[in-house]
Amino acid sequence: RVMVLGSLNVDLVTRVQRHPRPGETVLGDGLRRLAGGKGANQAVAAAAAGAEVLMVGCVGDDDGGAAYRARLADRGIDVGALRTCDGVPSGHAMIQVSDDGENSIVVVPGANDALDEREVAAVDLLGPGDVLVLQLEVPRTVVCVAARRAVARGARVVLNIAPYAALPPDVVALADPLVANEHEMQALAESGAQPASLLVTFGANGASWDGQTLPAVAVPADEVADTTGAGDAFCGALAAALARGSDRSDALAAALAAGADAVRHEGAQPEPYL
Ligand code: ADP
């Protein structure tokens, strides 16, 4: 089994001719609501790769949260430990895309900031052979405690150090693997942290796990629709492969295939509209 403990975001996307200056109002063209958030993106990817998946996290008591819960359940993901928090909004990202392709984004963490010991307790469902997937869009203390608890129970922890934040040395060392893109790897190296197992993704140049490097699955430039969520698809598929007992090179190959698939469609998940 794969448990993903992490974020869920409702992405609200509109197109603008140019970004407003402070104090100014501009008109947006269209409004789309998409499913996002690294945690849920990774859970959907792990389920698509055939894993039995449990999503642990929080949504708000609002329509977006309810829609997101239904969406995950539709995909066969266990949402029994997905908590609805009263009085806070679901995590939202308000995304403006201008005609020159520049984005400006306001993220409201909302319910993603509400994770606490109740979510940590869900880790007790795990045992040897299971994989816990973590990222850093939820409170870091919860991530650290959950990671230690999972390892104590004999589960494997895949820790995606994104968005980058410094972590205690023991947490960096227990990840198997710690997954970073090039920017996160750079920040990690500068921090002096010492992972025991490091997997770095290099976008169109593939990925490298403790020195074992595989090329990306080639995607022709005219078929690259949107690279948002490629890293999340990679992590979810990697966890699914590890949970079914694949060795490193098979798991890496499965993750690279999922990462390549993800750049072919718009949004962070397949059929992303919420
Ligand atoms: P992130 O999305 O976290 O910044 P990367 O850009 O390194 O991470 O992409 C993660 C993975 O997604 C890569 O290792 C690769 O498997 C896949 N990927 C990303 N961009 C491409 C691309 N243009 N062609 C093929 N695969 C890609």
User: If pLDDT is split at 50, 70 and 90, which confidence band does 102 have?
Assistant: confident
- Does residue 28 register a pLDDT over 90? yes
- Residue nearest atom 17 of ligand 1, based on CA coordinates: 259
What does the mean pLDDT of the chain come to? 97
Summarize the confidence of residues 244-252 as an average pLDDT: 97
Would you state the pLDDT for residue 96? 93
Among residues 163, 158, 164, the alpha carbon closest in space to that of 190 is found at: 164
Determine the average pLDDT of the residues in 183-199: 97
**ipTM of this complex prediction, to 2 decimal places:** 0.98
- pLDDT of 64 > 90? The answer is yes
Between β-strands 91-98 and 9-16, what pairing exists: parallel, antiparallel or unpaired? parallel
Class of domain 2-8+37-90+110-262: alpha beta
Residue 101 has pLDDT above 90, yes or no: no
| Distance in Å, CA 13 to ligand 1 centroid | 22
Q: Is 11 helix (H, G, I), strand (E, B) or coil?
A: strand
Please tell me if the CB atom of residue 252 comes closer than 6 angstroms to any atom of ligand 1: no
Cα–Cα distance, 232 to 39 (Å, whole number): 8
Is residue 232 annotated as a catalytic residue, yes or no? yes
- Give the DSSP H/E element, type plus range, for residue 191: helix 182-191
257 lines ligand 1 (CB under 6 A): no
Pairwise CA distance, residues 130 & 142, whole Å: 19
Known binding residues for ATP: 181, 201-206, 231-232
Regarding predicted confidence, which is higher, 228 or 174?
A: 174
The proportion of the chain whose per-residue pLDDT surpasses 70, expressed as a percent, equals 100
Interval 243-263 mean pLDDT: 97
- What's the CA-to-centroid distance between 41 and ligand 1, angstroms? 14
Q: What are phi and psi of 146, to 5 degrees?
A: -65, -40
pLDDT tens readout for residues 103-153: 899 999 999 999 999 999 999 999 999 999 999 999 999 999 999 999 999
User: Which residue in the list 29, 232, 250, 261 is annotated as catalytic?
Assistant: 232
pLDDT of the residue at 100: 86
Task: Summarize the annotated binding site for substrate as residue ranges.
Answer: 9-11, 37-41, 137, 232
219 and 263 Cβ atoms separated by less than 8 Å: yes
Q: Is the CB of 28 under 6 A from ligand 1?
A: no
Tokens of 132: 């816990």
Atom of ligand 1 nearest to the CA of 219: 24
